[in-house]
Every structure is written in C-alpha cells, then in structure tokens.
Amino acid sequence: MTRAVAAFFDLDKTVISKSSTLAFGRPFYQHGLISRSDALRTVACQVVFRLNGANHGQMERIKEWVGALCRGWPVDMVTDIVTRHLDELILPYVYAEARALIAEHREGGQDVIIVSTSGHEVVDPIARLLGADSVIATQMEVAGGRYTGEMKFYAYGEAKASRVRELAAERGYRLEDCYAYSDSATDLPLLQAVGHPHAVNPDRNLRRIATERGWPVLEFSPHSMGQSGESPAKGHAAR
C-alpha cells in the first residue's frame, strides 16, 4: 500500500557533504574517461562546493561542463565505476544526522525520496545505500550504450518541484503533509511544494528565507560523517 506522506531529500550538502557529480573524478581519470586536467578541475570544484555551495550560475556552468565531458562515455562502465567506489567516495561523507533522519521518516511509515541534480547513474546506487524508496534525478540521453552529452531531464530548480508534484499525483501523497530538506536557495521550488520544508546547513540566501518564514533550520556536523548513523539530528521528523 502506498504511503500518503513522503520526505524529499536533496542529496549534495544535505545528505552528503560533497558534490556527488564531482566525487568520482579520480576513478574516472584512472579508467581513462577524463584527462588529468579535468580530474584536477573536479578536485578544485569539489573544494569550492564543500566550502561555499553552488549558486545558479555555477550550477549552469557545471551542467554544461559535465554534459560535454561525458559525451561518448559507455554507460555500463560509468555504472560499474560508481558502484565499486561508493564505499570509498560516498559512504564516509554521509551525515550521521541525515542517516538518522531518513531512518526516522521510514520508521514513521513515510516514503523517502532522494531528489538530486546529479544523474541517475550516481544517485540511484547512493539511494539504495541509504535505504531510500525512490529517486528523482537528472536523466542523460543515451544512444548505442553511450552518453550523447544531452540531458533528457535536468532535475534542477522548478523541474524538481514539478516532478515532485507529478509523483505525488501518481502515488497519492498529500503534499501539505510531506517534508522536504535542502541546503540551497536554488531548491526553493522544492521546499515550497510541501507543507514541512526544512533548511539543512543552508546557504546565506536560504538561511535568510527560512528565518523569515519560520522554517526549521538543521545543522549537520561534518564531524559526524562516517559514523554508524546513530547520532540524532538536531530537529526531528514528525510522525
């Protein structure tokens, strides 16, 4: 039976402390998918993202760069690389508070859905690792088993919220009873689509908006990463 309430979690800097799109630069380089300079660029972009997040302009530049970069990559190879490096490159960066909050929603009988601008090839295995019920993510166009560099669906901004509303209509979620979590003001459409929006480690704009609107603000600590996930979140999901 479909649950009537869902919790929608942004991924980067909300559930994990880094950019999932940029996390696999080293193994992509080791397997010959990107050049050394591109690998170094992923490291530099990751540092900036972890310190400051990404605004709309930066997200658009990353979109164009990633689209051009992955053109011609074999889909099966990318899926294999991501799956084999999850424990090394993703698991240590999951906030314990986020893991606990996801478990709390599930124990409360609510679906957990990861909503990310990263591609399905990256997000799907992470979602399985976290025990999420389903995923909304960017879908790359594929031809002959290889990426064309184009995007069939870009899960960003209003597009995230539109897909959430479509999913709610399909599954019977009452959006006024649903929850959403994000760190970025670029996810305002997602947060505004539900009755219980939460700002997690918010950027400056989102913190201001959350304060003005009385939304809960959760602070997840990087010191909790890589632990068992038993630490409680600073703020709790309503049952």
Sheet holding 134-143, edge to edge: 146-153, 134-143, 111-119, 6-9, 179-182, 196-200, 217-218
CB neighbour class for 116 (10 Å; exposed up to 12, middle 13-18, buried from 19): buried
Which residue out of 10, 111, 187, 203 is catalytically annotated? 10
Which residue type sits at 229?
G
Go through 151-160 and write b for each residue having 16 or more CB atoms within 10 A of its CB, e for each that does not: beebbbbebb
Which residue type sits at 163?
R
Could you confirm whether 203 is annotated as catalytic? no
Which residue out of 12, 111, 183, 187 is catalytically annotated? 12
Could you confirm whether 124 is annotated as catalytic? no
Residue 82 phi, psi dihedral angles, 5° rounding:
-60, -45
- Report the catalytic residues: 10, 12
